[in-house]
Chain A
């Protein structure tokens, strides 16, 4: 099928984007828009490296077609600028190689947006959507809680 041009609302801007209907949002972001902060990992919905925020909720961008994002607000890691959760990740040493970090940050950012008073059980449930092969989840959890406490 021919390419089609759709308008994606990304990081506060309308971006005309030429895609195939079968392109995933992850591919459109990286391959068509040059937003390479969302990482390809498993491409199967398992690892969370590709997580972005769609209308306030976390979304694995490898599980969504670009055409499904029309009319929705997409935020990628490039759309966060020195946000509290980014600062907390640095302060708490919540990453090592950093490959999983944009996905974790976008998930944590959505959690703070949806459940700013989340209990431990909710934090755990949300964080389990992302996999990190380097560091422990303790630092990441600490970073989320530091933001919750307004530090």
Chain B
């Protein structure tokens, strides 16, 4: 029944599929399958394994799908915190809109249909360098709830996200926890693409203002998303002209600046300069 062309649409390797019902089971499965040499992989939206697996850039013999785990599926306000499960899809987040800055940033990832499959945790943990969905959490000093062989732990995102989420082998991102004050703070988010609204983003800038303090996080400039204290120090010298603050901030950027088909390093810096000037003027008076 399979047509000839259909042979190209299968993954070139086999794996076992597990659907644990709770965190303990997921973590134990990982440990067990790892001991068996199965190179287990947590699977949330699964788009990375499905797309990179096809071209031999990802491999596993055991998929552990975390979608049925209740803690990974919830969007909930408790006390002053917003909890978002790692297996919540970006479309679910846009529709429920509990964190407007997150909606604004994540609604630029991929396209609408794909965002119904791509999940928050999957985007934060992905290999791809954009990972825009992490930006709002870096800005909001969110906490991450992580499950591992030793149980659950809570850790500040800016401690554990350095270029990538520094999870230990077998650890699972369960939820993000974000203080309501950050959710209500004035923000600015913008994405520039090389061609008008198609294809991958060139640069995404997210900014948030807490009282008089401006915070910025950037994706698509370096091979990793980041927030930089040095950059923010320069941007917050409110007594200086906006252009001066931006130029000083640009001199403090992390390295390397990406140089690829989407744009040269110089072009990226040119775009970023404009985005930062716009962000400063948009948030100049906000939150005063």
A binds B: yes
User: For residue B54, which residues in chain A have a CB less than 8 angstroms away from its CB?
Assistant: 43-44
Interface residues of B in 1-57 (CB under 8 A from A): 1-3, 5-6, 8-11, 13-17, 45-47, 50-51, 53-54
Q: Judge whether B176 is part of the interface by a CB distance below 8 angstroms.
A: no
Q: Judge whether B259 is part of the interface by a CB distance below 8 angstroms.
A: no
Docked Cα-Cα span, A148 to B61, in Å, equals 47
Interface residues of A in 92-121 (CB under 8 A from B): 107
Contact check: which of B16, B67, B114, B197 meets A60 at CB < 8 Å?
A: B114
User: For residue A26, which residues in chain B have a CB less than 8 angstroms away from its CB?
Assistant: 9
Docked Cα-Cα span, A126 to B51, in Å, equals 21
A22 and B1 contact, CB distance less than 8 A: no
Q: Judge whether A31 is part of the interface by a CB distance below 8 angstroms.
A: yes
Contact check: which of A36, A51, A65 meets B50 at CB < 8 Å?
A: A65
B112 and A128 contact, CB distance less than 8 A: yes
Interchain residue pairs A-B with the least CB separation, the first 10: A31-B2, A129-B113, A21-B17, A129-B111, A22-B11, A1-B14, A31-B6, A58-B113, A129-B112, A27-B9
Contact check: which of B1, B3, B14 meets A21 at CB < 8 Å?
A: B14
User: For residue B113, which residues in chain A have a CB less than 8 angstroms away from its CB?
Assistant: 48, 51, 58-60, 107, 126, 129-130
What are 20 residue pairs bridging A and B, where the CB atoms are less than 8 Å apart in the complex?
A21-B63, A22-B11, A22-B13, A22-B15, A24-B11, A26-B9, A32-B1, A36-B3, A45-B50, A45-B117, A48-B111, A58-B112, A58-B116, A63-B51, A65-B50, A67-B17, A68-B67, A125-B107, A129-B111, A129-B112
Size category of the binding interface on chain B = 35 or more
User: For residue A9, which residues in chain B have a CB less than 8 angstroms away from its CB?
Assistant: none
User: For residue B47, which residues in chain A have a CB less than 8 angstroms away from its CB?
Assistant: 45, 63
A57 and B111 contact, CB distance less than 8 A: no
